[in-house]
Amino acid sequence: MLGNLDNEVIFKKAFTNKIVFKAFVRDILGIEIEVDKIETEKRFNPKIGYVDFELDIFAESTDKRIAIEIQRVEYDHHFDRFLHYFLMIIAEQQKSAKEYHIDQTVYVIVVLTAPYTISDKNGQPILDEVLLLKINPQNLKGEVRDLYGHQFVCLNPNHVENGTPQQIRDWLDLIYQSIHSPQRHILNTKNEGIKKAIELISFENLTPEERTKAKNTEAAKITLAKISNVTKIEIAKKMLLDNENIEKIAKYTDLTLIEIEKISKDLGMSK
């Protein structure tokens, strides 16, 4: 049985292992790296852009030319947050106003373990399994000039696409099956990174301390989810009392129409 990669403790145990980390980076980004130290809860001092943010997993290559950050998110965030992290890691390299040259190439990989709940600017739902953002200029002919190479990659195994390369599919399968079918998983163990990750997160290989931390993390998530749902219900009540239509309420609270109709009945209102 696999540990749940939606759990912070399990995720960090797997992806702070050098074999797993290097294989994951190789398969997702197509680059080979060597790292000495893989950090968790990474913070920069002094703060960047007046914002004190924390990175789940952070490592630099031994030649100091590549910085990698892996961010696990079990619920949907606005993409502005990911963009902020990405740009701030780039900005962190500019230690003073006199230094504008960026020595390192920055890569940020975000793993989302829940379906997207956001839409693009035209209102169309985001349903992509892999999203890429590459920072390089291009001319009017559309020819890209490789000046920076910074990349942001967003992975979401809940939106399966046929064209996803197999080496990326292997990791998406690992993440998805650890959450949804931990006892009956079918994974590519020919990939040494996948094989090592399976070994690390197998339930029988978790220490009693890791199991306790994982359970505590799950309990905290459940509590936060309950608090979040209570907040959504209170917002829905206020919007109903302001005579907002239920479709708009659903959009702003992520509650279903059935849930909103029930809240309306509980308030003694008819919508």
Residue 247: partners with Cβ closer than 8 Å, 6 or more residues away: 257
Closest CA to 174 of 45, 64, 10, 42: 10
pLDDT of residue 202: 92
Domain closes at, from 185, 206, 227: 206
Q: What span, in angstroms and rounded, lies between the C-alpha atoms of 88 and 19?
A: 27
Dig out the tokens for 26 from the structure.
């190789």
pLDDT of residue 51: 61
* 112 and 237 co-located in one domain: no
* 147 and 192 co-located in one domain: yes
pLDDT of residue 78: 67
* 137 and 238 co-located in one domain: no
Which residue is it, tokens 């992509």? 128
Residue 1 lies in a domain: no
* 29 and 116 co-located in one domain: yes
* 117 and 161 co-located in one domain: yes
pLDDT of residue 25: 96
Dig out the tokens for 139 from the structure.
């001319």
* 95 and 117 co-located in one domain: yes
pLDDT of residue 164: 96
Q: What span, in angstroms and rounded, lies between the C-alpha atoms of 113 and 240?
A: 32
Beta-ladder partners of 131: 154
Residue 31 lies in a domain: yes
Q: What is the mean pLDDT of each run of 10 residues along the chain (271 residues)?
A: 89 95 96 93 73 82 88 71 85 66 87 85 89 95 93 94 96 95 93 96 87 68 53 82 82 78 82 44
* 34 and 166 co-located in one domain: yes
pLDDT of residue 243: 84
* 150 and 167 co-located in one domain: yes
Residue 162 lies in a domain: yes
Residue 57 lies in a domain: yes
The answer for 186, left when phi > 0, alpha when psi is -120 to 50, beta otherwise, is beta
Residue 167 lies in a domain: yes
Residue 2 lies in a domain: no
* 195 and 216 co-located in one domain: no
Q: What span, in angstroms and rounded, lies between the C-alpha atoms of 123 and 105?
A: 33
Residue 45 lies in a domain: yes
Q: What span, in angstroms and rounded, lies between the C-alpha atoms of 197 and 179?
A: 14
Domain closes at, from 191, 206, 221: 206
3-state secondary structure 157-226: CCCCCCCCCHHHHHHHHHHHHHHHCCCCCCCCCCCHHHHHHHHHHEHHHCCHHHHHHHHHHHHHHHHHHH
Residue 3 lies in a domain: no
Chain-centre distance of CA 5, in angstroms? 11
* 202 and 215 co-located in one domain: no
Q: What span, in angstroms and rounded, lies between the C-alpha atoms of 111 and 19?
A: 18
Closest CA to 70 of 130, 131, 135, 24: 24
Preceding omega of 125 cis (within 30 degrees of 0): no
* 35 and 57 co-located in one domain: yes
The residue range of the domain holding 79 is 8-206
Domain closes at, from 155, 178, 206: 206
Q: Please count the structural domains in the chain.
A: 2
* 182 and 228 co-located in one domain: no
